[in-house]
Amino acid sequence: MTKDEARGLGWLLGFVIVTATAVALMTGCGASARQKTVNAAFVVIDAGCSKFAEYDLAHQRQILAASADRATFDAAIGKWRATRDKVQRDCTAAYRADAVAATLDNEQSFAALKAAASIVYDEIKALGVIK
Amino acid sequence: MTTEEEIQLVTVVGEAIIKLTQGLLDVKAGKLDPEVVLAAANAVSDTVKATDAAIDKLAHDKFDTSESP
């Protein structure tokens, strides 16, 4: 991922989250506004987690290229995959929260979705996938 | 198929699945179908698994294959 792409994705994620939250708050989280936010959250989660999957491939290739021997590779790839697995689990949790919110369409599921999406966003940002 | 070709395939398949789910969402253009969301989650999971398999094969080729004298 280039710096421009990362910057663009970061801007997109931030914009959609802030806009969607603002719309939901201004409209008192009515059913229609909430549903639009659930739809927008899917786009954000899918964009972030898909970009993370691309980053995972590129990062693993870098680890392999930088490793001179099997032991070095095993240690480095094991460390990265442990981190990657946690983010992937949180991505799955965010997708599921979105599916539940789309089905139930209530305040409780909506709050759970916002929390799950925020966790994924923070993790991907902390790893430097987005700025 | 070489490992490099497998890597390319992982990328192509991942992008195709992502476009498919986005396309389904566009077609729905209304209430989000939970099945589409779960399909997207599975697509990411499958891409990660394919990445691991491809990298492991590349690592095997690099470190575990001894050339005969």
- Comparing CB atoms, the residue among A39, A64, A100 nearest residue B55 is A64
Q: Is the pLDDT of residue B68 over 60?
A: no
pLDDT at B27: 43
- Mean pLDDT taken over chain A: 83
Q: Which of A38, A69, A77 sits opposite B32 (nearest CB)?
A: A38
- B49's enclosing H/E stretch is helix B34-59
CA distances from B29 to A35, A40, A110, A122 (A): 12, 12, 20, 29
Helices (H), A1-131: 3-26, 31-66, 70-104, 107-126
Tens digits of residue pLDDT in A102-120:
999 899 999 999 999 999 9
Interval A2-16: pLDDT, tens: 555 555 555 555 545
Closest CA to A18 of A2, A37, A33, A45: A37
Q: Is ipTM over 0.90? A: no
Query: What is the value of pTM for the model shown?
Result: 0.72
Chain A: closest CA distance from residue B68 (Å): 19
Q: Name which of A10-14, A89-93, B51-55 the model is least confident about.
A: A10-14
Interface test with A, best of B6, B21, B55 (most A CBs within 10 A): B55
